[in-house]
A and B are shown apart, each in its own frame.
Chain A
Amino acid sequence: MKMASHRENNIANYQIISILGHCFNQLAVVQLAKFIPTGAMVAIKKFDMDKIKEAYLVESEIILTRQLNHPNIIKYIVAFVSGPQVCVVSPLMAYGSCRDLLSRHFNEGLCEPAIILIIRDVLDALDYIHKKGYIHRAIRGSHILISDNGKACLAGLRYACPIVLNGKWQRSIHSFPSTTERNLNWLSPELLEQNLKGYNEKSDIYSIGIVVCELSNGIEPFAGMSKTLMLTEKVRGYAPSILDSTTIPRDENIESGGDCEISTNILNRRFSDDLHEITNLCLHREAYDRPTAGQLLTHPIFKNNKRLLPLPELLKPALPLSDRVGYDTV
């Protein structure tokens, strides 16, 4: 990465346009801004360091993100200190996160081609991260951002941990990520078990499985469930699935008398066998049985991408942010 020039380090050169969202447990704000010298739209993440107790997490996220260089991993243009805040500038991800897309436009999930395109990009990034010797540990919809040309980028690297310790590639990792409360539903059973067996990079693959469910169903499995029940469900080997006509037993649903109201849309749709297979592969209880990111990328489901529509088409009616801003300001 080129050294940031003086003007990029100066908060005065950014014209704040609006708030995009919050992160880091509401202690950081993400703003849409225009970099005045060039007119480029960027996203500025501002961490309020007076309120953040785990300052090392902010630090490690910046250090790690700037060490990585991959088209599907979020880039930091520059990071600087401004008063009590640490500011991180990155290119604008015009569609926001997958979580945003699901809550705003796709309450019942994305269409299969969109899921395939997004997951392929994330797997590319994950393969790269694992080969660099890190476990992401926070793969989830809100950490996957979509750019205006439909490229998925992985973010949220503050939870990542190195696989290499004392110059040695560790067979298993035992650390439990701190402030990981909001990621718990996506984490693998072996990571949550916190025993001497530990976990490895396959833990991220489990999270990919949960993300596939999240993108397909509109909400992640175990949402709204008590954390302890989620834990026992995972440890006992319950594997969530993507919901369609094959996975929801029709009669039972009617019998239970609206116990869980599932729309006819979901009841009648049909995901491909390949997508079901990918989900099941990722959600194996035993890490050993899950494929690596590299192996998953060779799955036939990712082979025929050329024939798919580009992601921005598939995401309609959602519009990229820059276009929306255009409407608002005209």
Chain B
Amino acid sequence: MDSNMCQTSKSFDSETAEADASYEEENEHEIATAEFGEEEELKPVDSRPNPQLWITRNSSHADFDDDLENINISNFFHRVDSDQIIYQSKKRRLKLVGKYVMGDLLGEGSYGKVKEMLDSETLCRRAVKILKQRKLRRIPNGEQNVQREIKLLRKLDHKNVIKLFDELHNYEKQKMYLIMEFCVGSLQTMLDSTPDKKFPLWQAHDYFLQLIEGLEYLHSMRIIHKDIKPGNLLLSLENQLKISDLGVAETIDLFAKDDTCFIGQGSPAFQPPEIANGLEFFPGFKVDIWSSGVTLYNITTGRYPFEGDNIYRLFESIGKGVFTIPPEIQEPLRDLLLGMLEKDPYARFSLQRIKRHTWCTRQPSPEGLPKVPVPPLRGDMWHSLTVLPYLIEHYYDEPLEDASEDDGSQHEYITERQLNEMDERRKQRDRTFVVAENSNGNAQSSSSSSKKSSRWKKTISCMSFKTIPGCKQS
């Protein structure tokens, strides 16, 4: 199915295509430059005497796309071989936002980048959502949605709902930083990493129960999430599910007589028939039940109950409410799916009914398929602190491991091919490291770490805390 069908409809407008393209672009770039830090720090440089016009992954398409239709593209752009694109590498620079040390990119939300951060006082790992006012204004209801989300998150406190810890503003740069709980990935990224795009039943069961618990809390706070889907269900280091992205959530008025809603937003593939059919009003909480049903269907079968080539076909199919469940899905899960994906919202299962359902109360045996793990982040299966290399660079001011192994020479300019090679090499090393660790790693890794620290053994002793020579205090 078209990936757009699984995206929130708030981005459904003419900008989507462009936004998607730039997302791909930036994302790819980010991965390639991950070793060197932020993308701003790698700038194409013009080192040749006779520069020709070339376009890099980083150049702003915004300058061109206005006139694209009138211009023969092949005349306008010169083809450049990939190793002729040159990046200049800067050192990893420690960047502080408030008391937080900035780390690497974790993902891209609908409104901006999500990066890792480390609280320099508590040393607790955090994630930060970076919102650019400029970008927000381009999205319909962007600013309004963000304000609403912040207001909601501030008052929420549940183990299965993402927590907001802090908000920082940089008025000069027109940036907003939302400091949130650190997560290692979404159910979607995990599904994408498997061939069948599904979880073993026992694992799906674990996540589903946590989803229901979080949803019960949200509903008790009179909040309808409206965008429940695997991409919005994150996992913490402790394997705890966190419902995230309350950008289109709606709060029922305290004095409203029931949960009637009038607006449907959210990702098309997860919308209930009442929204697909364009009903004027509908019971709100049952919207979340339906999308949780689609989510459960999706994570247990690897498919979607309703599909369509475009949003109209999809809504047509959802509107009819007819779907099939693959034969391998047995009772009582079948019954649960049928109850949650009931066309009539009033006949659809309630949360209480779901909680009491036999499939929920009885845990499937953890046999059969192995657990789907959290996929590695840029080759790192352990999702280690990405802030650490910046701190090491800052405190010890020595070339990074990566650089020192790089033929011994310090590159000032790096071509894209070299960049890819280094990335490849790093991946290979990670792989061999994992193997080594599994076989007899302990001795090996401890010896290497003691080697690394030898330089400091003498200077930093227990008593020399008054001044630390050669170290800049943060």
Contact = CB atoms under 8 A, between A and B. Distances in A.
Nearest to A288: B442
A227 B120 contact: yes
B184 A196 contact: yes
B138 interface: no
Interface stretch (A228-236, A293-301, A307-315): A228-236
Contacts of B458: 249, 252
A259 to B, nearest CB: 6
A52 to B, nearest CB: 15
Contacts of B452: 236-237
A238 B320 CA distance: 65
A232 B395 contact: yes
A196 B466 contact: no
- For the complex of A and B, 7 pairs with smallest distance between CB atoms: A237-B449, A260-B464, A224-B465, A174-B237, A221-B462, A238-B453, A174-B238
Contacts of A125: none
Interface string A263-307: 000100000000000000000111011000000000000000000
Interface in B115-156: 118, 120-125
B383 A259 contact: no
B464 A194 contact: no
Contact of B446 (A227, A237, A243): A237
Interface stretch (B303-311, B353-361, B385-393): B385-393
A39 B382 CA distance: 57
Contacts of B374: 196
A229 B395 contact: yes
A176 B124 contact: yes
Interface residues of B, number: 48
A236 B442 contact: no
Interface in B438-474: 442, 445-446, 449-450, 452-453, 456-458, 460-469, 471, 473-474
With a 10 A CB-CB cut-off, give which of A231, A243, A259, A288 has the most chain B CB atoms. Answer: A231
B3 interface: no
A286 B463 contact: no
B123 A238 contact: no
A193 interface: yes
Contacts of B122: 180-181, 184, 227
Contacts of A231: 123, 388, 391
A213 interface: yes
B21 interface: no
Given A236-B392, A289-B442, A197 B382 contact: yes
A256 B236 CA distance: 46
Interface in B162-191: 182, 184
Given A284-B446, A286-B445, 18 more contacts: A174-B236, A181-B122, A192-B123, A219-B463, A228-B101, A228-B395, A229-B471, A231-B123, A231-B391, A236-B392, A236-B453, A237-B453, A238-B453, A238-B460, A248-B461, A252-B458, A259-B467, A260-B464
